Structure 1
Amino acid sequence: MISRDTNFVVRGSSAFAWMTTEDAARLAGNGEKRPIALLPTGAVEQHGPHLPMGLDIWLASAVAAAAAAGENGIRVCEPFAYGSSAHHRAFAGTMSLSPQTFIAVLVDLCSCLWQDGFLPVIINGHGGNRAAIQVAITTLGSQGVVSAGFSYFDLIADVAARVLPDHAGGTGHACALETSLMMHVLPASVRQNLIPDGATPPSWPDPHLYAGPAVSVWRPFEAIRENGVIGTPSEASAEAGEQLFVEAVRRSRQTILKIQSEYGQRSIA
């Protein structure tokens, strides 16, 4: 069984920051392939009445730590906790960066990693970061820095379809998917007595996670549903969370290793 990192601190051989500067230089200079530096991104924002605000960065960090375990060529950086979350600012405690600030920080961090011989890979846990991460990667590429990024939840849409009763209309934000994952990874954080009933009111374009609307819009989440929840968290279960987490880790590891072998090494000077 894949272990869970309930402290959300990566220690030992998988941790980038656990290395000394001499360790980092030695790892980066050892072998033909650049080692991967995984950078978890997420958010600190509202997740309804039943989930903690740290969910996005905690889950991204937990997936990253488990995906890197036992892989000598992968290190997990300290998480970049704050994301682009202005659409949640009506809810107390949400901490948001502007897209421009988020992009600028990502570009600076990934540039440092590249200059020191690492291949930066962003592993994301917040849907609101997707577009900004694409811009950051494009900006880095124009500067000669090779980087890559993905959202772990985009890799498990078929698993969600299999283990959740309504993955299409029930998965979005503080939903059955995220609630199930937290029931598995950090069960004490889920306020089960506060899980709301019901589903998302009809809304266009479809706001659910796997809807893939052709039209891009921006809207505050309180305009969609007063509690900020998109989906059906009452359908969550720890059993579903375990299956989702195991596959998120397995597929993330596969993706990272493929990036390292098939993409990033081709542009090394």
Structure 2
Amino acid sequence: MSFEDVSEALARGCSTVVIPCGAVEQHGPHLPLCMDADHADALAERIARSLDDALIAPTIKVGCSAHHLAFPGTISLRPETFEGICLDYCTSLARHGFRRILLFSGHIGNFPVFQQMLPQLRQAMPAGVEVVAFTDSTGWIGAWRRAVAGAGGDPDHVGGHADIAETSLMMVIRPESVRPDRFEAGYLGTLSEEQLRDMWANGIKSVTHNGIIGDPHGSSVAIGERCFDAIADLLVNAFRK
């Protein structure tokens, strides 16, 4: 869009803007580093269309991925850097007249940072501007499990990272990037609170040697389409509330 296109959209009452966020981080030996950013790009279009009259800001492609830095190619922002970028996005968009700013992430690792920054983002906005961020990781993983089961896959292969859900999603979004000959199982089962604390403090290699939480075996386009629909619906319903 040109600036005139945006101006015309605002003039006709389009006051909602979606800010997709992603990550550039390892996703096992079988998926590309861009997985989360690509997922966010695809979800943003579905969300904006479902909300009727909303625009999409450029995706913030790099997120907070310090726990993946043991794997080459991962790029991570400090939480304060990520917060600063989100703040600058929001203040710029609010200045132009957007009144509802919706943040979401294709990388679940950004959710805790959203939770921490949200009060500051809201405080920095002028009167009448609402900032919303989706942070329900339990709801997200649950939606994936139900979607995988509904498409005939094994919900126990859902772990949340480079698993059957994410691999199937990339078969839909960027199929040429998926390497089935490199499929490996990673950590299987639910991470305990202690394991989660260890992962955040010492990196994902403390719980999985290959960077996978879950198992990509059994991935398919049908599962990917079901997972995509499930998360898009989850986000749209949350933002409508």
Structure 1 unmatched runs, 5+:
1-17, 208-212, 260-269
Matches within 5 A, 1:30-179: 30-31=12-13, 35-69=15-49, 72-118=52-98, 119-144=100-125, 145-150=129-134, 154-155=139-140, 157-164=142-149, 165-167=153-155, 170-179=158-167
Could you tell me whether the CA contact under 8 Å between 2:25 and 2:75 is conserved in 1?
A: yes
How many aligned residue pairs are there?
A: 233
**Range that drifts further, 143-152 or 234-243:** 143-152
Could you tell me whether the CA contact under 8 Å between 2:18 and 2:101 is conserved in 1?
A: yes
Per-residue displacement from partner, 1:155-213 (whole Å, max 9, x unpaired)? 57245235245535632211111111112222211100001035438853276xxxxx8
Q: Aligned partners of 1:161, 1:218: CA distance in 2, in Å?
A: 30
1:237 is aligned to 220
Q: Aligned partners of 1:185, 1:240: CA distance in 2, in Å?
A: 12
Q: Aligned partners of 1:200, 1:159: CA distance in 2, in Å?
A: 15
CA RMSD of superposed structures (Å):
2.8
SS of alignment partner, residue 147 of structure 1: strand
Q: TM-score, normalised by structure 1?
A: 0.76
Q: CA deviation at 1:233?
A: 1.5
Q: Aligned partners of 1:218, 1:80: CA distance in 2, in Å?
A: 24
AA aligned opposite 1:147: V
Could you tell me whether the CA contact under 8 Å between 2:161 and 2:212 is conserved in 1?
A: yes
Structure 2 unmatched runs, 5+:
none
Cα 1:199–1:238 change in 2 (3 A) is farther
Could you tell me whether the CA contact under 8 Å between 1:125 and 1:152 is conserved in 2?
A: no
2:206 is aligned to 223
Matched, 1:252 2:235: yes
Cα 1:135–1:201 change in 2 (3 A) is closer
Q: Aligned partners of 1:76, 1:194: CA distance in 2, in Å?
A: 34
Kindly, what percent of the aligned residue pairs are identical? 31
